[in-house]
Every structure is written in structure tokens, then in C-alpha cells.
């Protein structure tokens, strides 16, 4: 297990992903503002990890509040939640994690629960969400493992591994599970410009697991597909609309079209809470625009002429028609996604009602 983030008595400890692969250092966040900075600056990244980070940010804000009355604490919680929600707009897991802690707080506050008991409850919830993320990713991996070839090469884009979760991974979790079952898989990792999550992060963690990995420039995948070098593509997701349209790191859309053209299965792996039932299609998913400097500079060196225009959307949306299957911890979804997603959501509601 790679310790992406951890709740400690001193605060929330984060593996600094901006320093990988050359340095393994940690950043300790001791209040919710520092957690917000860690998320915004991509010290932690990946939708599931951001979701749990958001929950821990709200929890540490409540735990360390000096409010002496419930009305004071309630007003402070709203500030905490809005501060964390403003950090990264695309990953729906962030809002889910914040909402989980806010909901339990509001429920306890409505019952006039003593503040010390509320603090204990929200911290325990944040810790439980961490454990649940790992369990979900392992279940997701088990559900998707046999979709990958028994022997062959799998392409992935960005990093949807242990570093993007609490320690096991979504897309890379499926690869890990397949390898654990005896599949002989080589991984091709798109470098994923401009932030290089594939070259820096995916390659780093797969090498730690001794899974054969080769880094590609982002414009090489089509060539290798045409040569029969790629048997499957698997990626993660930051938000999935109710019709199956999927937002993932910029460049994913292009890879999906190439896979479709070459008859290669294209899988999305994500926990079910990445599905945003309130967003009908991908057109409604907000796309984060990041600092132009990520494009103009590499390793501190300017790569473009002064004054040139820069586009830096962090994500794009892959239409559902290019997705072979969506792998979740609850099972594998297939087209038509608006029907299979709705059925899975209804099944979950019925299960919860029966408990």
C-alpha cells in the first residue's frame, strides 16, 4: 500500500505528489485551510483521494474549531465547506466527501448533540471513508480484472492508481488485481502532459509493484495501436454523467477515439460515487482551467515564446459511445449507460432501505 494520505493526531499527512518521482516527502496539514491548499496545488490529486481529503478537511476544521456554541460552529462549518469546495471544480468526489461530513454534522447539530461528541463523530466518519475507499478499490479491481487480457499490453492515461486513491487504485487497481490473478500484463503509460501524471506517478508506483511499464509521449498511442501493440485501454474518471459520459484527464477523449477506430476495448474504472446522477450528460460537467505556466514551462524552464496564447483545460469528456464498460465496486456497467446506471443506483437504494 502506498500511503497517499493519512489522518494522524498531528493533522492530515499527505504524500507530496508534486515532488515525485525524485523525492518522497510529506506535507502535514494542521487545519482546513492547509488541506484546501494541498488539494488546490495538487499535492494530493485523483478523484477518490480528493474526496477523502475533502472529508478530512471538513473534519479537521470542525475538530480544531474554537466555537463554543452550536450556532457558531454551524456558521464556521459553512465557511469550511465552501473553502474546500472551491479548490477543484471537476471531481465530483470532492463534493461527495465534503457532503458526507457536513450531513452528519447537520444531523447531530439538529439534535443539539454536545460539541465534543460531534467532533469525535466527524473524525471517525472521515477515517471510515478512508478505509471504505481502499475496500471499494479492491472490490472494483476484482470486478474488472478478467476484462483485461490474460497476456498483453494495456494502455492507461494519467494516474488512476494508489496515488489517486487512499492506497490501491481504480484503473491501476484493476491492473493490480489482474496481475495478482496471474495475468501477464505490460503497461503503457501516457506521459499525460502538461502535468506528467503518467510519466511521474503511474510509472513510479507500477515500478514499485514490479509491473513492467513503458512511458509514451501522448501522441504515440495511435501508432502503437495500428501496430497491434495495445490490447486494452483503462482509465479512471473524475466525474461520470448519468448517461455515461466521462470526464477524465485531458487527452482521454482522443485516446478513446483511437481505441474505437482500432477495435480496442476502452474501460473506465471508478467508484460508484464518481457517477453524478444530477448531471444528465457530459455537457454539464464543469472543466477546470489551470495555470498557463503548466504549459509554458517544464522543470522551471520556459518552453514557449513570450506572449503566445495558452489553453490549459485539466479535463475533457469522453462520450459514452466510446466506452466499452464502466467498472465500479458494485459491478460492471455497460451500454445503454443511462439505463444500467439508473438500475444500479436503484438497486443500491433498495439495499440500503432493507438494512
Whole-number Å distance between alpha carbons of 252 and 235: 8
- pTM of the model as a whole: 0.93
Count Cβ atoms within 10 A of the Cβ of residue 303 and give its class: 0-12 exposed, 13-18 middle, 19 or more buried.
Answer: exposed
Which among 190, 238, 245, 316 is annotated as catalytic? 238
Section 144-170 average pLDDT: 97
Whether 315 and 249 have beta carbons less than 8 Å apart is answered as yes
CA–centroid distance for 339 within its chain: 24
**pLDDT of 355 above 70:** no
Whole-number Å distance between alpha carbons of 107 and 90: 27
Section 203-226 average pLDDT: 97
Section 164-175 average pLDDT: 96
Whole-number Å distance between alpha carbons of 212 and 79: 46
Place of cell 472543466: 287
Section 15-27 average pLDDT: 96
Is 238 an annotated catalytic residue?
Answer: yes
Give per-residue pLDDT as tens, 76-124.
Answer: 999 999 999 999 999 899 999 999 999 999 999 999 999 999 999 999 9
| Domains of the chain, first to last | 5-139 (1.20.120.420), 142-354 (3.40.50.10470)
Give the pLDDT band (50/70/90) at residue 353.
low
Q: What pLDDT score does 299 carry?
A: 84
**pLDDT of 352 above 60:** no
Section 282-304 average pLDDT: 95
Partners of 327 in the β-ladder: 269, 332
Whole-number Å distance between alpha carbons of 271 and 239: 10
Place of cell 481502499: 134
Section 229-234 average pLDDT: 98
Whether 39 and 56 have beta carbons less than 8 Å apart is answered as no
Whole-number Å distance between alpha carbons of 236 and 323: 12
Handedness of CA 5, 239, 197, 335 (dihedral sign): positive
Whole-number Å distance between alpha carbons of 59 and 122: 5
In the DSSP assignment, the letter for residue 283 is G
Q: Which three cell numbers stand for residue 46?
A: 485523483
**pLDDT of 181 above 80:** yes
Q: Which residues lie closer than 8 Å to 216 by C-beta, 6 or more apart? A: 155, 188, 189, 190, 191, 198, 224
Section 181-203 average pLDDT: 97
Amino acid at each position: 500500500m502506498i500511503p497517499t494520505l493519512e489522518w494522524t493526531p498531528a493533522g492530515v499527512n499527505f504524500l507530496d505528489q508534486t515532488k515525485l518521482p525524485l523525492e518522497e516527502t510529506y506535507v502535514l496539514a494542521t487545519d482546513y485551510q492547509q488541506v484546501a491548499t494541498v488539494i488546490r496545488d495538487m499535492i494530493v490529486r485523483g478523484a477518490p483521494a480528493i474526496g477523502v481529503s475533502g472529508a478530512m478537511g471538513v473534519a479537521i476544521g470542525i475538530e480544531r474549531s474554537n466555537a463554543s456554541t452550536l450556532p457558531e460552529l454551524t456558521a464556521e462549518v459553512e465557511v469550511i465547506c465552501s473553502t474546500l469546495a472551491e479548490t477543484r471544480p471537476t471531481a465530483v468526489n470532492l463534493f461527495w466527501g465534503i457532503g458526507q461530513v457536513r450531513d452528519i454534522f447537520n444531523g447531530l447539530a439538529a439534535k443539539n448533540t454536545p460539541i465534543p461528541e460531534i467532533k469525535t463523530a466527524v473524525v471517525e466518519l472521515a477515517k471510515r471513508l478512508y478505509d471504505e475507499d481502499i475496500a471499494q478499490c479492491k472490490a472494483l479491481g476484482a470486478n474488472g480484472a478478467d476484462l483485461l487480457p490474460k497476456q498483453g499490453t494495456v494502455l492507461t492515461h494519467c494516474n488512476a492508481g494508489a496515488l489517486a486513491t487512499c492506497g490501491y487504485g481504480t484503473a491501476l487497481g484493476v491492473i493490480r488485481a489482474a496481475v495478482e490473478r496471474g495475468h501477464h500484463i505490460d503497461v503503457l503509460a501516457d506521459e499525460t502532459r502538461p502535468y506528467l501524471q503518467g510519466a511521474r506517478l503511474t510509472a513510479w508506483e507500477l515500478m514499485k509493484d514490479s509491473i513492467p511499464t513503458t512511458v509514451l509521449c501522448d501522441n504515440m498511442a495511435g501508432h502503437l495501436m495500428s501496430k497491434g501493440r495495445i490490447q486494452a485501454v483503462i482509465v479512471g474518471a473524475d466525474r461520470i454523467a448519468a448517461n455515461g459520459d466521462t470526464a477524465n484527464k485531458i487527452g482521454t477523449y482522443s485516446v478513446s477515439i483511437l481505441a474505437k477506430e482500432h477495435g480496442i476495448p476502452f474501460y473506465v474504472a471508478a467508484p460508484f460515487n464518481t457517477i453524478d446522477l444530477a448531471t444528465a450528460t457530459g455537457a454539464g460537467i464543469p472543466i477546470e482551467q489551470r495555470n498557463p505556466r503548466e504549459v509554458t514551462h517544464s522543470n522551471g524552464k520556459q518552453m514557449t515564446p513570450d506572449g503566445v496564447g495558452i489553453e490549459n483545460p485539466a479535463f475533457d469528456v469522453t462520450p459514452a459511445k466510446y466506452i466499452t464498460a464502466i467498472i465500479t465496486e458494485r459491478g460492471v456497467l455497460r451500454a445503454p449507460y443511462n439505463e444500467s446506471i439508473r438500475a444500479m443506483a436503484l438497486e443500491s437504494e433498495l439495499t440500503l432501505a432493507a438494512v
